[in-house]
Amino acid sequence: MQSDKRIFDDLSKFLNGVAGTVAGMGREAEAGFRERTREWVAGMDLVSREEFDAVKQMAATARAEAEELKARVAALEAAAGKAKTAAKPAAKPKAAPRK
């Protein structure tokens, strides 16, 4: 009986060692995969989320400023058109054609 128990103890220790080794290999493989993926993505020249959000915000600000400037130009053109109309002298009567 005693020898049967010792065999099971040895087998249990062996299997625990194998399980630890397999788990370590899995962690190592995962770390290697993550590193290779990071290198691959870095080579693709992608932007980060923070950079994308910053550019998106700048574009929205630029669009708002462009709309504001369009409204100001339209108002100035309207004012300039009224000024030209008011500044035109009255039309002179045409002289009768000579015979």
Domain segments of the chain: what residues?
A: 1-46, 47-83
The pair of structure tokens assigned to 81 is: 């058109």
pLDDT-above-90 percentage for the chain: 57
pLDDT band at 68 (very low <50, low <70, confident <90, very high): very high
**pTM of the shown model:** 0.42
- pLDDT, tens digit, 9 for 90 and up, residues 38-47: 899 888 888 8
17 vs 3, residue with greater confidence: 17
47 vs 21, residue with greater confidence: 21
Q: What are the distances in angstroms from CA 99 to CA 11, 44, 93, 96? A: 133, 85, 18, 9
